[in-house]
Chains A and B, each alone.
Chain A
Amino acid sequence: MSNKFTKGLLRKMPWHINDSEVTPEAVFKDRRNIVKALGLGAVGASMPSAAHADIFDLFSKDKEKKKFVTQPLAFTKDTNYAKDEIVTPYNKVTTHNNFYEFGTSKKAPAQNSQEFQVEPWSLVIDGEVERPITLGYDDFTKLMELEQRTYRMRCVEAWSMVIPWLGFPLATLLKRAGVTSKGKYVAFETLHDPEQMPGQKNRFLGGGIHYPYVEGLTINEAMNDLTFMAVGLYGKSLPPQNGAPIRLVVPWKYGFKSIKSVVRIRVTSQRPPTSWNQLAANEYGFYANVNPEVDHPRWSQASERRIAEGGLFSAKRIPTLPFNGYGDQVADLYRGLDLRKNF
């Protein structure tokens, strides 16, 4: 097992060429002047001042919120598991998130998580292992050899993205801890910290999930090479809304399996409970493999809306592939299993 401090090449990444296309910061910050120019200053002015502060945030002045600071990360290997598909732009990946700990709307996590503390962090790997491990914040990047993997991400809500993650295979970590013969499943747990995560404090914001959020995989799923622990995306460390400082990425399963801000990975002999399954077992199974044949009770899974570049009307609906297109690597894991029953 490689245990050396790895300094990889910091590659010139393909999105660097897009710099000129990005909205310059000055223009972005000048939004309220644009609003004024549209003659809508009067709308804001005619509102009572209390409403100003809240609903008309958009027009209010200089409300620059603190932004979480990400760090550039070096990596040694770069593999594209999404063929020639267009990568979803950084600003969409980081402002369209399901992370109910920070609120249930898609934009809430980016808004409510910017002061989230990721340092110090402690990730415990224990349970049915020979050598329990505790990793601190620096260990994720210094102890582990980071690689870049571009994966498709398919949400159970029938939208999808393509994201360049940075991280390492979960198997590397589990091998280091040494799974015992009793280890049949792997259980994951998100940080429970209601002071930092408003959704855990307030049921209205948290959408009725029982916190902490928990997820699980079979040991064979966990040891599959595609199963990834991500610490970064787009060449930089993860922002909180994407699951900083470390999260799971299982590209052939619906996104809710890819648990964020993980503090514990426990190898178990029994199948562990999983959050969405606890909430609605008839809608969310333990496996949650992407499967166009098995509809969610309230929507079709046969196709998906791919979130890529461009504005509102430039999105495309594309057919959903079995195992999200990763059948070659993972279909063997489910040989003999009825995937309609074990959805």
Chain B
Amino acid sequence: MRLTNKHLFLLKAFMHWAALVPIVYLVLAVMTDEAGGDPVQYIIHYTGIGALNTLLIMLCISPIAKRFKQGVLVQTRRLIGLYVFAYATLHLAAFISLDLLFEWSLFLTETVKRPYILVGMLAYLLLFALAITSLNSIKRKMGKRWQKLHNSVYVVALLVPLHFIWSVKSEIIEPSIYIALTALLLWTRKEQLKRIFSR
């Protein structure tokens, strides 16, 4: 069976729903004190994990599309990618607003001094570049350079789990699982990655 446009529409609607429900949950959890008496760390962690989960889901799309010969699935990657960017934006915004309380000088010195924050910021800047070039009109204008730029999603996929494991005090099991999952997803496209990075 081939997926039709109607299927694609329903799938996209489902994806929007699945990406937004966790945000609604977070807002309610914070409002009802379910996120703890001081939910700052909870919010930062929750949105960060949200970005990473969404990124991994996005990286699953093309292997699945290939395996099941459903080319149209690839069209959902932009939608998911923009949610990765949205979660990353919430994550960064929570850090700056709730934790640093808008101390911009502290934000700058911390970014320079702390490797894990620097790694996170690099990943965010790449995501930002990918997000603003995701419009079709810009994609057309950029021509071949577009694909080159968007290959950097694989760099993001390396930076984000590194940022995670570097940030924790001692709880390394969870970030280690994420590193393994990312490695697996990159392994499935090793030929493609070889081509990209040997150029």
Contacts and interface: CB of A to CB of B under 8 A. Distances in A.
Interface centre among B25, B113, B171 (most CB of A within 10 A): B171
24 contacts: A31-B32, A35-B32, A43-B24, A58-B25, A58-B34, A89-B37, A96-B38, A104-B170, A105-B42, A105-B45, A106-B38, A107-B39, A207-B170, A207-B171, A208-B170, A279-B170, A280-B170, A298-B166, A299-B110, A299-B114, A300-B109, A312-B30, A312-B40, A317-B101
Given A38-B28, A58-B28, 18 more contacts: A55-B25, A58-B25, A93-B37, A95-B36, A96-B36, A104-B170, A110-B36, A157-B41, A157-B169, A204-B174, A207-B170, A209-B170, A298-B166, A298-B167, A300-B110, A300-B113, A305-B99, A317-B106
Given A208-B171, A300-B109, A317-B101, A94 B28 contact: no
A92 B170 contact: no
Interface in B159-182: 166-167, 169-174
Contacts of B21: 43
Interface string A194-209: 0000000001100111
Interface of A: 31, 34-35, 38, 40, 43, 55-58, 89, 91-96, 104-107, 110, 157, 159, 203-204, 207-209, 279-280, 283, 295, 298-300, 302-303, 305, 307, 312-313, 315-317
A283 B25 CA distance: 35
A144 to B, nearest CB: 29
B33 interface: yes
Nearest to A35: B28
Contacts of B34: 57-58, 107
Contact of B114 (A203, A298, A315): A298
A209 B173 CA distance: 12
A94 B37 CA distance: 8
B101 A315 contact: yes
A91 B97 contact: no
A312 B39 contact: yes
A238 to B, nearest CB: 16
Contacts of B25: 55-56, 58
Q: Interface SS of chain B: helix, strand, loop or mixed?
A: helix
B38 A300 contact: no
Interface of B: 21, 24-25, 28-30, 32-42, 45, 97-101, 103, 106, 109-110, 113-114, 116, 166-167, 169-174
Contacts of A283: 169
Nearest to A316: B101
Interface centre among A94, A208, A298 (most CB of B within 10 A): A298
Closest 7 CB pairs of A and B: A107-B36, A95-B37, A92-B37, A96-B38, A207-B171, A96-B37, A208-B170
B13 to A, nearest CB: 13
Interface centre among A55, A58, A204, A316 (most CB of B within 10 A): A58
B172 A208 contact: yes
A106 B97 contact: no
B27 to A, nearest CB: 10
A317 B100 contact: yes
Contacts of A57: 34
B32 A58 contact: yes
A19 B99 CA distance: 29
B171 A104 contact: yes
A305 B106 CA distance: 12
A104 B42 CA distance: 11
Contact of A95 (B30, B33, B173): B33
Contacts of A93: 37
Contacts of B33: 91, 95
Nearest to A98: B169
Contact of B103 (A104, A280, A317): A317
Contacts of B113: 295, 300
Contacts of A299: 110, 114
